[in-house]
Chains A and B, each alone.
Chain A
Amino acid sequence: MMRTAVSHTRLYSYLVTRHTGRAVRTNIEEQLAVFEETVLAVLDLEHVELIDFSCADEVVAKLVTMPGVISGRRFFLFRGIADRHSEPIESALSRQGLAAAGETIDGDPFVMGDIEPEFERAWRALWRVGRAAPTGLAEQLSLTIEVTTELLTGLDSRGLVIRDGDDYVSFGRALADAPASMDGAPVDPATR
């Protein structure tokens, strides 16, 4: 069973201007560069006062399209998402047909951006069970194995779930199973 490394980063303050967004993204990319294996990066926006459209593009949309390395992929979970963050992030993702995994301040998981309802339903079902093969999840979703496989493969290719052999793993489970997490330095644009 594959163990996914986890990196935690807290973001602070006012995420405004593309310049700031680029600096924050570069900082996160540098933090992730130390991982040779697959890594789930948890970015906490709870203390972000506001994020504008330019920063949402740089910090969210560009990160979720970040290429992995030969030995591992990069996945992202955006935590602490409040109403004040939603519109710029949704807009930045949807504009490019992207989606990203999020958690509200209360810890409720959801998908942001451009995602079709059947994919979101499969994503939520996997989040509930944590880890499943298509055969196991198909019954819960009342779908055929072929359709369930297609949905999970699609979610994996969009960086919303982690494939581990025949199984698919939710970010929630990956966090619980992580061998150790690395806390990255807090990223505050005010100290950039």
Chain B
Amino acid sequence: MSRVIEVPATLDEAAFEELVTAVSTVGGENSRLLLDARQVSWVSPYGLIGLLAIGQAARQQTGLAPLIEPPDDPDVRSYIDRMHFWAAAADVFEVDARHPRRHGEVDTLLEITAIRSHEDVHRVVEGVRDRAQRILLNQLHYTRPSVIHFSVMLSEVCQNILEHADSIGWVCAQRYHWKRRLGRDVVVLAVMDVGVGFQGSLGAEHARRYGERWSSAAALEAAFLNGESRFRDPGRGQGLQAIRRQIIKWDGAVRIRSGDAMIARVPEWDDTPQLQSGLTRFPGAQVMIVLPERVTGEGEQG
């Protein structure tokens, strides 16, 4: 028996929430998920790896590899091919062997890459340098040190998967024009896993102290705002705080969804709530970072 879920035409972070809610009703053995993406006409990096996360979560829940119907739109198909979606999807979905095709793409900062080990993080960080330089320095007008800071941020956010998720994760990044919200070019970096999530990861060390207040929201606040970690080692937990500090310098946005909550660093140009709870519960952690194009007159960005 299959349960068909239609993927929204605009596959972004809002669509991800819709899909999470829709998929939450799929359960039990012999209930195979089919994601019908035929109507999709626009895809963000977050939405794209969101499909992988939703597929993987369904697979973990039902024990069956889900199916996916690719978009009809040739431009969208071409884009997701260029982002190496099908190579990653083959580990999650039961996919048609005809899909995997790879092409270069000038605006792609980082194609979808699975993170399973520290070697994968090295590969991502070392491989992104030239493109990060071209896109951040030449197209978004960031400073040369910013390229290093971006690579460090990429390393830390990918390591979160290894350190806290105990599960496979994915990362990708793309430059595009964010006309609707900002009227500028942006780089969007998305990182997701479907592992234990912040509440589970930090629970053994911190849950007792919080008592009944322990929740996904409390865990996100503890990690994102206070730099707390699941380890007693005082050197742990600085990665997320460092990311937050850097994003503030760049007037960017970062949001982390985990469990049934989401925490965000919200710049003036965005209207995302800083903390949300009561979302549909979803495993792991889903991170979206938005770096806006720098324009003349903006201060030192570090």
- Which A residues have a C-beta under 8 Å from some C-beta of B? 14, 16-20, 49-54, 57-58, 61-62, 83-84, 87-88, 91-92, 95-96, 189
Contacts and interface: CB of A to CB of B under 8 A. Distances in A.
B155 A52 contact: yes
Given A50-B148, A54-B159, A20 B242 contact: no
Nearest to A14: B126
B152 A88 contact: yes
Contact of A16 (B122, B145, B238): B122
B145 A92 contact: no
Contact of A95 (B145, B162, B235): B235
A17 B238 contact: no
Contacts of B236: 57
Interface string B227-245: 1000000111011001000
Interface string B10-27: 000000000000000000
Given A54-B239, A88-B242, A17 B145 contact: no
Contacts of A61: 235
B207 to A, nearest CB: 23
Contacts of B122: 14, 16-17, 20, 189
A53 B242 contact: yes
Nearest to A189: B122
Nearest to B238: A53
Contacts of B121: 16-17
A84 B143 CA distance: 12
Contact of A18 (B126, B159, B234): B159
A16 B235 contact: no
B238 A57 contact: yes
Contacts of A14: 122, 125-126
> Is the contact region of chain A dominated by helix, strand, or loop, or is it mixed?
helix
Contacts of A96: 234-235
Contacts of A58: 235
Nearest to A86: B145
Q: Count chain A CB atoms within 10 A of each CB in B156, B234, B238, B242 and give the residue with the most.
A: B238
Contact of A91 (B149, B163, B242): B242
A51 B152 CA distance: 7
B151 interface: yes
B235 A92 contact: yes
Contacts of A57: 235-236, 238
Contacts of B177: none
Contacts of B152: 16, 50-53, 87-88
A17 B235 contact: no
Nearest to B149: A87
A181 B235 CA distance: 31
A58 B235 CA distance: 8
A55 to B, nearest CB: 8
Nearest to B163: A18
Contacts of B227: 95
Contacts of A95: 227, 234-235, 238
B118 interface: yes
A83 B145 contact: yes
B118 A17 contact: yes
Contact of B155 (A17, A84, A189): A17
Given A17-B159, A87-B152, 5 more contacts: A14-B125, A16-B151, A52-B159, A53-B242, A84-B145
A49 to B, nearest CB: 8
Contacts of B238: 53, 57, 91-92, 95
B199 to A, nearest CB: 22
A20 B118 contact: yes
Nearest to A83: B145
A186 B291 CA distance: 37
Q: Count chain A CB atoms within 10 A of each CB in B151, B159, B235 and give the residue with the most.
A: B235
A88 B159 CA distance: 15
B242 A16 contact: no
A22 to B, nearest CB: 10
A95 B121 CA distance: 24
